[in-house]
Amino acid sequence: MLPCQAGQAGNKNLGPMTYLFPNPAVSPAKAAFLVNAARKKGPYPEAFKATLSHAGYVRAAKVISSWPGYAPTPLASLSTLAERLGVAAVHYKDEGGRFGLGSFKALGGAYAVFRLLAAELRRRDGSVDEAALAAGRLKEAARTVTVCCATDGNHGRSVAWGARMFGARAVIFLHASVSEGRAEAIRRYGAEVVRTSGNYDDSVREADRIAAANGWFVVSDTSYPGYTDVPRDVMQGYAVMVAEALGALDAPPSHVFIQGGVGGLAAAIIAHLWEAYGADMPAIVVVEPDKAACLYESARAGKPTAVAGDLDTVMAGMACGEPSLIAWPLLASGASAFMTIADQAALATMQLLASGAAGATIVGGESGVAGLAGLIAAAGQPDWRQALGLDSASRVLLFGSEGDTDPDLYARIVGRTGDAVRAGA
């Protein structure tokens, strides 16, 4: 691993930073950048297909596309920003409208609930009509099953929504830093919310303990020793988003900047792109908050590494201290680089998208804009640009993984509500 650090202040391609970040009071702070010298090249390794594969994506897409309200989310062109950054194109996959849940997590948690219920009903009854389950016609059978998870907000909302859609009971564990707005959004889907002490990783352990004591089923988006099957299904659901994006592009992306967290989303993107493009897969950069950078620290150490502390970051969806067990090998082998950004960079990027100055007006949430913030940071550093091969021919793909999932917080950060931004007010 080859580390380097620098501030985000720009090079000649960027022009005034006030153009990119209309509110100079929330200017981007320092970022950190680490080239992954361990990245493997060549075709997608057969060993990884047991975790994530095109065949698994096809199964997930068949189920997810049958759900009421399914439609591909939009892919916006940030053409003005691309010109300012000195690249050919920047495309932003806006997941804010996914199934009305506000984030890409709707694809993973709910799909894992479906897979878990199908397996449990098949175990009980010898067979199960999966089409009937997906359509919500087996709620009487499913109501005896309780699913639970720990969450920073979005995954729990997806699990609660999936449980309600298929008829199961849901109990969602939230640590102290999760806002009450996000808790209330989960309750609206009929789930019971349990508050826990400590950080996200502590809530994962508490959910596992309570589930074991009560015979409940954990639907976690992170994996740990002895628990890998359900997180694999969660990650496989995310591939639907990646396939939609590729189908909407005129040409393959050369670079992807993606949010970190426990690594499930980034691993799903790496797997899908690696299997699709082989040795020609895009350069993938994993971006995390500097206050919760377990993937960056794992890359620096060359092995999965936990980070301690309260993990207190405004990018709440990435307030994670431990990498996912099954995600990490894909990241270690497939990511081109790892980055960290400060909270201020995420806040400023939310304002940038809301202003329309990037070329499109988008409601992007605190965690959802991290990839874009990372791109802007990298584009402003000549040595980082060179390490990544970012140039005038580069086509960058970003996944805006959430919208205003906490509307009150979004309004405080941006100065307008998400509805006002969407309406152009």
Taking alpha carbons only, the member of 163, 223, 33 closest to residue 172 is 163
Check whether residue 199 and residue 110 sit in a common domain.
yes
Same-domain check for residues 161 and 290: no
Query: Residue 362's closest CA among 16, 13, 73?
Result: 73
The pLDDT score that the predictor gives to residue 362 is 98
Residue 263: predicted pLDDT: 97
Quick one: pLDDT band at residue 110, thresholds 50, 70, 90? very high
The answer to whether residues 11 and 41 belong to one domain is yes
pLDDT bin (cut points 50, 70, 90) of residue 23 is very low
Whether 303 is catalytic: no
Q: E strands within 48-100?
A: 75-77, 89-94
pLDDT at 296: 98
339 lies in the same domain as 306: yes
Whether residue 304 contacts residue 325, with contact meaning beta carbons closer than 8 Å, is answered with yes
- Mean pLDDT for 378-394 is 96
The catalytic residue among 12, 49, 94, 105 is 105
pLDDT at 1: 35
Q: Is residue 30 part of a domain?
A: yes
What are the pLDDT digits (tens) for 253-308? 999 999 999 999 999 999 999 999 999 999 999 999 999 999 999 999 999 999 98
In the predicted structure, residue 30 carries a pLDDT above the cut 80: no
List 94, 152, 221, 290, catalytic entry: 152
User: With 80 as the cut, is the pLDDT of residue 17 above it?
Assistant: no
- How far apart CA 363 and CA 124 sit, in angstroms, is 44
Q: Does any domain span residue 349?
A: yes
Q: Is the pLDDT of residue 20 over 80?
A: no
Asked if residue 366 and residue 249 are part of one domain, the reply reads yes
**pLDDT of res. 3:** 36
Supply the mean pLDDT for the chain.
92
Q: In what order do the strands lie in the sheet with 169-175?
A: 192-196, 169-175, 146-151, 217-218
Bridge pairing between strands 169-175 and 192-196: parallel
Q: Are residues 72 and 120 in the same domain?
A: no
- For residue 113, pLDDT beyond 90: yes
Please check whether residue 246 lies inside any domain of the structure. Answer: yes
Range of the domain at 146: 105-221
Q: Among 188, 221, 254, where does a domain finish?
A: 221
Q: What is the pTM of this model?
A: 0.91
Q: Residue 26 above 90 pLDDT?
A: no
Length of the chain: 425
What confidence tens digit (pLDDT) does each residue in 312-353 have?
999 999 999 999 999 999 999 999 999 999 999 999 999 999
117 domain-assigned: yes
Assess whether 300 and 345 both reside in one domain.
yes
Within this chain, do residues 96 and 135 fall inside the same structural domain, yes or no?
Answer: no
Indicate whether 80 and 202 sit together in one domain: no
Question: Is residue 330 within 8 Å of 302, Cβ to Cβ?
Answer: no
Indicate whether 125 belongs to any domain: yes
> Is 151 contained in some domain?
yes
Of the candidates 221, 251, 280, which is a domain's last residue? 221
In this structure, the strands spanning 169-175 and 146-151 are parallel
Q: Specify whether the CB–CB gap between 348 and 81 falls below 8 A.
A: no
Domain containing residue 123: CATH number: 3.40.50.1100
Q: Which two tokens stand for residue 44?
A: 């997608």
- Check if 202 is active-site: no
Q: Is the pLDDT reported for residue 10 higher than 90?
A: no
pLDDT in tens, 74-107: 999 999 999 999 999 999 999 999 999 999 999 9
Distance CA 232, CA 160 (A): 19
**Which DSSP state fits 358?**
T
Whether the predicted pLDDT of 380 surpasses 60 = yes
Do 257 and 295 share a domain, yes or no?
yes
Position 226 in a domain:
no
If asked whether residues 268 and 393 sit together in one domain, one would say: yes
Residues 59-80: what's their mean pLDDT? 97
What is the percent of the chain where pLDDT is above 90? 86
User: Domain total for the chain?
Assistant: 2
Q: How far apart are CA 49 and CA 55, in angstroms?
A: 9
Q: Looking at the predicted structure, is the pLDDT value of residue 309 above 50?
A: yes
Q: Is residue 351 part of a domain?
A: yes
Spatial CA neighbour of 173 closest among 190, 163, 186: 186
Instruction: Summarize pLDDT for 188-224 with one digit per residue, the tens.
Output: 999 999 999 998 889 999 999 999 999 999 999 889 8
Q: Are residues 295 and 261 in the same domain?
A: yes
Last residue of a domain, one of 221, 249, 267: 221
Which class for 184: exposed (0-12), middle (13-18), buried (19 or more C-beta within 10 A)?
Answer: exposed
- List pLDDT tens digits, range 170-184: 999 999 888 898 899
